[in-house]
């Protein structure tokens, strides 16, 4: 399924253990989306995520695997930020 193109709707897919590597997708607004996530700006995050998926749809050769890989990378960046932000916030509240 990772090789599925967005316009494939009637195709049947079979599992294959070895798949080609996903292509790296660069979106120029990744930093804005990540900043809003880190800042807890929920409504802005929703808007940016909508724009992100419109961007994916605008890429003619993008596959589901490419988009998933891109999202996984963003989630990893958010996890990394949260590992440092949340403990720092907890410490500052404990000291107050």
| Domain extent listing, the chain | 1-96
Query: Structure tokens of 6?
Result: 């967005």
Q: What pLDDT, in 10s, does the model give residues 40-93?
A: 899 999 999 999 999 999 998 888 889 999 999 999 998 888 787 666 656 665
Distance of alpha carbon 51 from the chain centroid: 12
SS (H, E, C) the chain: CCCCECCCCCCCCCCCCCCCCCCCCCCCCHHHHHHHHHHCCHHHHHHHHHHHHHHHHHCCCCEHHHHHHHHHHHHHHHHHHHHHHHHHHHHHHHHC
Tell me: pLDDT of 39 over 60: yes
């Amino acid at each position: 399924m990772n090789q599925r193109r967005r316009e494939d709707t009637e195709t049947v897919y079979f599992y294959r253990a070895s798949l080609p590597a996903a292509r790296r997708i660069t979106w120029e607004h990744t930093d804005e989306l990540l900043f809003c996530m880190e800042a807890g700006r929920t409504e802005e995050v929703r808007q940016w995520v909508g724009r992100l998926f419109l961007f994916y749809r605008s890429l003619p050769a993008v596959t589901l695997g490419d988009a998933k890989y891109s999202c996984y990378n963003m989630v990893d960046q958010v996890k990394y930020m949260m590992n440092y932000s949340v403990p720092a916030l907890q410490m500052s509240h404990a000291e107050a």
